[in-house]
Amino acid sequence: MTAARRLRVAYHDADPAPLLRAGVRPLLAELAAEGLPAYWARHWRRGPHLRIVVDADDAAWEGIVRPAARRHLEAALAAHPSTTVIDPATLRETYRLLAEREREYGPLEPQQPDNTVEEEPHDPRLHVLGTHDAVALFEGFHQRTSDAALTMAVGEGPSLSTHVVDLMLIMAQEVGGYLERGFVSYRSHAEAHIMGSPDPRAVRALFDERSARLRDPLVQRVRAHAEGATAHLDELTVSVGRELVRAADDARPLLADGRLDLDGPIANGGGAEGGDATEEQTRHSDFHRTLRGSGDFERTLREAPWFLRYRVALNLLYLHLARIGVRPVDRFLYCHVVADAVEQACGVDAVAMVASGATELVEGHS
């Protein structure tokens, strides 16, 4: 995509399903019929809103996009208005920290009035992704999965938990090479969240309780994936999983010649990896304490070709989860329970694998 402009629809209610169903879906359908690539996403800057990115030249924008947006979006907002009142002052510090972490350089204020539609230049985050090829990879994924994400966000797909767990397992197996290797990133991200929280013991206790409660069905799910069974997978989840695998494959030449650089956060919504944790924080995580003490093994793992491609696809997975309404804290919980289930189902242990310098973590399936 080479979009120059986008729509932003302020909608302060936590659940945008009414707007997505009545406004965004018919708008995207009309744009697709006109041959105009587009996708939608959630964002927070200047208040909660939906972004609709459209690849249209000036003539198409004036003649097609703007009139269609007025018809569909304004009618949906009138019929299903957001009623949540947000005091911008209470979110000012949160937004400042988000902007710093996600490298968002646009204005944070004033807050866009609720239930309004604005146009703005499209920022493809070239300053984060580095090259136009990398932007094309990310935006291509967003566009191709836009309908599936909308279906999930309005509650018309499989259950949210089933969709998330199956995607994480597809990622671990198809992009990671096999479950026993791919799951280690989930353990890493869950542990980074736990040890970085204000009360690591309380968070771990909560995560462990949820994991114990869900263990039996999750272990069965893991075993089904490990055996290659597909009857339990719905087509929507399979389609998104296919796009994640495609993105990992498409990333291979970009990573090889430097057109995609993973030294910094390559996308907002990416998972914490614990690399900047303090010594005090690592006291609360056997995994990260062991990884930090592994010397060259940690560097070798992070530079492994399969792991670099996995990180790209994992960023896209996490962005997809954010788009369908999975909060970061819930994403980390999913990481924890899925990692626990893989360890039990497959008889592996992420900490032991790192401690032993397991060669399967850095070799093969590159």
* DSSP assignment of 79-135: HS-------HHHHHHHHHHHHHHHT--S---SPPPTT-EEEEE----HHHH-SHHHH
Q: Residue 256 is encoded by which pair of tokens?
A: 């090889």
User: Tokens 């198809």 correspond to what residue?
Assistant: 174
Residue type, 106: G
pLDDT number for residue 272: 53
Structure tokens at 100: 């710093």
Q: Does residue 265 carry a pLDDT above 50?
A: no
pLDDT at position 267:
40
Instruction: Name 307's Cβ contacts closer than 8 Å, sequence gap at least 6.
Output: 301, 362
* More confidently predicted of 102 and 343: 343
CA distance 129 to 126: 5
Q: What pLDDT is attached to residue 329?
A: 96
Query: 294 falls in which pLDDT band (50, 70, 90)?
Result: confident
User: Does 269 score more than 60 pLDDT?
Assistant: no
Torsion of CA 236, 240, 246, 248, to 10 degrees: -150
320 has a pLDDT exceeding 90 = yes
- Which domains does the chain carry? 5-123 (3.30.70), 140-361 (no CATH)
User: Mean of the pLDDT values across residues 107-126?
Assistant: 96
CA–CA dist 301, 185 (Å, integer): 11
Query: What pLDDT is recorded for position 176?
Result: 93
Q: Which of 41, 27, 34, 37 is nearest to 73 (CA)?
A: 27
Find the mean pLDDT for residues 16-41: 98
The two three-digit tokens of residue 301, written as one number: 């793992």
Mean pLDDT to the nearest integer, 107-119: 97
Strand order in the sheet with 49-54: 38-43, 49-54, 5-10, 117-121
**pLDDT at residue 252 greater than cutoff 70:** yes
- 167 has a pLDDT exceeding 70: yes
What is the chain's alpha carbon radius of gyration, rounded to the nearest angstrom? Answer: 21
Burial-class residue 323 by CB neighbours within 10 Å (0-12, 13-18, 19+): buried
**Are residues 146 and 28 in contact, defined by beta-carbon separation less than 8 angstroms?**
yes
Lowest average pLDDT, out of 160-164, 207-211, 304-308, goes to 304-308
Residue 346: alpha-carbon gap to chain centroid: 26
**What mean pLDDT is predicted for residues 211-228?**
95
Q: Is 43 helix (H, G, I), strand (E, B) or coil?
A: strand
The residue among 117, 160, 124 whose CA lies nearest residue 15 is 160
Q: State percent of the chain over pLDDT 70.
A: 95
pLDDT at 280 over 90: no
Distance CA 245, CA 309 (A): 9
DSSP codes of every residue in 271-321 = PP--TT--HHHHTT-HHHHHHHTTTHHHHHHHH-HHHHHHHHHHHHHHHHH
For residue 268, what pLDDT is reported? 40
Amino acid 200: pLDDT = 97
The span from the first CA to the last CA of the chain, in angstroms, equals 28
Burial of 86 (0-12, 13-18, 19+ CB in 10 A): middle
* Residue 37 φ then ψ, to 5°: -60, 140
Model confidence at 271: pLDDT above 50: no
Contact predicate 137/250, CB 8 Å: yes
Q: How confident is the model at residue 3 (pLDDT cuts 50, 70, 90)?
A: confident
Q: What's the pLDDT score for residue 240?
A: 99
Q: What is residue 39's three-state secondary structure? A: strand
State the average pLDDT for the chain.
Answer: 93
Question: Would the pLDDT of 266 be above 70?
Answer: no
Give the whole-number percent of the chain exceeding pLDDT 90: 83
Tokens at 225, concatenated: 């994936």
> Which carries the bigger pLDDT value, residue 268 or residue 65?
65
pLDDT for 2: 77
Token pair belonging to 61? 């924008």
**Whether the predicted pLDDT of 94 surpasses 70:** yes
In total, the chain counts a number of residues equal to 366
Model confidence at 297, in pLDDT bands (50, 70, 90)?
confident
Mean pLDDT (whole number) for 298-308? 89
- State the pLDDT confidence band at 302, using cuts at 50, 70 and 90: confident
Q: What is the DSSP letter of 139?
A: H
The predicted structure's pLDDT at residue 145: 99
